[in-house]
């Protein structure tokens, strides 16, 4: 029988990269993931290994020292990594969103300055849209930048920065009314600033504080933080793309890549849950036979495998669409929505198959059970995906009567 989640039409290079990543995941991530996660410990050794493999530069063009690979290659790598431990995929995701935004929208000087060191993993990226009072409604951002000579002065509080502590470059979205007439639409008065800082916590640059790690139910190991700007001075040449007022569009472009990434994570976590479920079901006996021989459990396995396949196919389709240069908001929204919902369901079924042992911290499924819900929220909730999908459908199927 064919294994689940195979991808047709990959090049030799893509297959080689994936085989290397899969091997790394099996040998270096899976054996230590649950223990590190329970200790909420940053996986430094794993990150060093990813750096050595060149993964931080996977999608960065070769002229800047990266591997110049496609979004599809990246997404398939993320799927493999999330199969090992979702937190590790979180460490590379925000890095890639920032590198992608720089590649697509940065000035030449910004690309030359950041991308080579990002490709080497020496500069690591985080991105920051959310605030304590908003996540879905990005147009309501209250953090502000005010021009002062050759600099901007930034004030406000940001929330939920994945890699907020460990990163050294944060793409921060704030409101900047400078140069725009009164009454400009909210999404046209936002600017992305490239904020360089020391990794760590406390005052990491004059006017910039990362208070500490948020204590989370899952997705541990990777740091998630707040960010406080108190008269933070940023030079005008650190406006992404050099022109204010474009931040909303730049971030939305980045988030589309991020949505494919979250879909890929959902696929990876669901695959691992399936693997754990199908193994356990053949070992555990009840009523004189392995539980896999009870039809109710076999049906569960069949449903789980079907969901793994469907999510994988939609994720691959969304990545290929973006790689072809076409708009992929519909495909990315559908893939993110479906893969995260299916992931939660597959994980729950694997948990049920484990009976009481699924509730024990000794079993890996306990960790997956706490990780899956994050995918329902991050990079836009299910409701937000459905709003995007619905809007696009009405564009495509406009009533002509």
Instruction: Give the footprint of ligand FAD on this chain (CB under 6 A).
Output: 94, 127-130, 134-137, 160-162, 216, 219, 224, 374, 377-378, 380-381, 383-384
Task: Give the C-alpha separation, 28 to 112, whole Å.
Answer: 33
The residue at minimum Cβ distance from ligand FAD is 135
Q: How far is the CB of 162 from ligand FAD (least distance, A)?
A: 4
β-sheet bridge partners, residue 192: 173
Q: Is 28 among the catalytic positions?
A: no
Residue closer to ligand FAD (CB basis): 61 or 218: 218
CB 157 within 8 A of CB 170: no
C-beta of 74 vs 337, nearer to ligand FAD: 337
Q: Smallest gap, in angstroms, from Cβ of residue 196 to ligand FAD?
A: 17
Nearest distance from residue 328's CB to ligand FAD, in Å?
19
Range list of H helices, 187-294: 247-283
> What does 295-358 look like in DSSP terms, one character per residue?
HHHHHHHHHHHHHHHHHHHHHHHHHHHHHTTS--HHHHHHHHHHHHHHHHHHHHHHHHHTGGGG
Rounded Cα gap, residues 336 and 369, in angstroms: 18
Beta-bridge mates of residue 210:
202
Q: Which of 331, 379, 395, 396 is catalytic?
A: 379
Distance in Å, CB of 397 to ligand FAD, minimum? 21
Nearest to 195 by CA among 187, 186, 206, 180: 206
Residues whose CB falls within 8 Å of the CB of residue 17, separated by 6 or more in sequence, listed in order: 58, 67, 69, 73, 77
Whichever of 165 and 380 has its CB closer to ligand FAD, that residue is: 380
- Helix ranges (DSSP H) in 25-175: 30-38, 44-53, 71-84, 86-105, 108-119
Phi, psi values for residue 174, rounded to 5°: -135, 165
CA 200 to chain centroid: 21
Within 10 Å of residue 96's Cβ, how many Cβ atoms? Answer: 25
Q: Which is nearer to ligand FAD, 101 or 161 (CB)?
A: 161
> What are the beta bridge partners of residue 170?
126, 195
Smallest separation, CB 134 to ligand FAD (Å) = 6
Q: Which of 179, 163, 334, 324 is nearest to 244 (CA)?
A: 179
Q: Whose Cβ is closer to ligand FAD: residue 266's or residue 380's?
A: 380
Between 128 and 176, whose beta carbon lies closer to ligand FAD?
128
The smaller minimum CB distance to ligand FAD, of residues 198 and 383, is found at 383
The minimum distance between CB 382 and ligand FAD, in angstroms, equals 7
Q: How far apart are CB 160 and ligand FAD at their closest, in Å?
A: 3
CA distance 330 to 88: 27
Q: Which residues are marked as active site?
A: 379
């Amino acid at each position: 029988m064919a294994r689940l989640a195979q991808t047709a039409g990959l090049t030799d290079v893509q297959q080689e990269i994936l085989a290397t990543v899969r091997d790394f995941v099996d040998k270096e991530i899976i054996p230590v993931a649950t223990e590190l996660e329970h200790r909420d410990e940053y996986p430094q050794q794993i990150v060093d290994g990813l750096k050595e493999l060149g993964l931080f530069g996977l999608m960065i063009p070769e002229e800047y020292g990266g591997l110049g690979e496609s979004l599809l290659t990246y997404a398939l790598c993320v799927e493999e990594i999330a199969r090992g431990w979702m937190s590790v995929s979180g460490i590379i995701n925000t890095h890639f969103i920032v590198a992608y935004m720089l590649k697509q929208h940065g000035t030449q000087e910004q690309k030359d300055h950041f991308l080579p060191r990002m490709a080497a993993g020496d500069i690591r990226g985080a991105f920051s849209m959310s605030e304590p009072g908003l996540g879905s409604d990005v147009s309501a951002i209250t953090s502000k930048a005010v021009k002062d000579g050759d600099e901007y002065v930034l004030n406000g509080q940001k929330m939920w920065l994945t890699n907020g502590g460990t990163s050294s470059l944060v793409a921060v979205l704030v409101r900047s009314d400078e140069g725009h007439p009164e009454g400009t639409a909210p999404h046209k008065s936002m600017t992305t600033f490239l904020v360089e800082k020391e990794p760590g916590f406390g005052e990491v640059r004059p006017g910039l504080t990362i208070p500490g790690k948020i204590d989370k139910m899952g997705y541990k190991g990777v740091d998630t933080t707040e960010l406080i700007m108190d008269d933070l001075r940023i030079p005008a040449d650190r406006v992404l793309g050099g022109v204010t007022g474009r931040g909303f569009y730049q971030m939305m472009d980045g988030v589309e890549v991020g949505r494919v990434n979250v879909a890929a994570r959902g696929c990876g976590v669901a695959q691992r849950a399936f693997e754990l479920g199908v193994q356990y079901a053949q070992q555990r006996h009840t009523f004189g036979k392995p539980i896999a021989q009870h039809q109710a459990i076999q049906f569960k396995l069949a449903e789980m495998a079907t969901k793994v396949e469907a999510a994988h196919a939609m994720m691959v389709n969304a990545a290929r669409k973006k790689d072809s240069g076409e708009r992929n908001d519909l495909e990315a929204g559908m893939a993110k929505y479906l893969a995260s919902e299916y992931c939660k369901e597959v994980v729950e079924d694997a948990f049920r198959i484990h009976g009481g042992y699924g509730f024990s911290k000794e079993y890996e499924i306990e960790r997956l059970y706490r990780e899956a819900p994050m995918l329902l929220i991050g990079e836009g909730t299910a409701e937000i995906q459905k709003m995007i999908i619905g809007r696009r459908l009405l564009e495509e199927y406009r009533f002509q009567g």
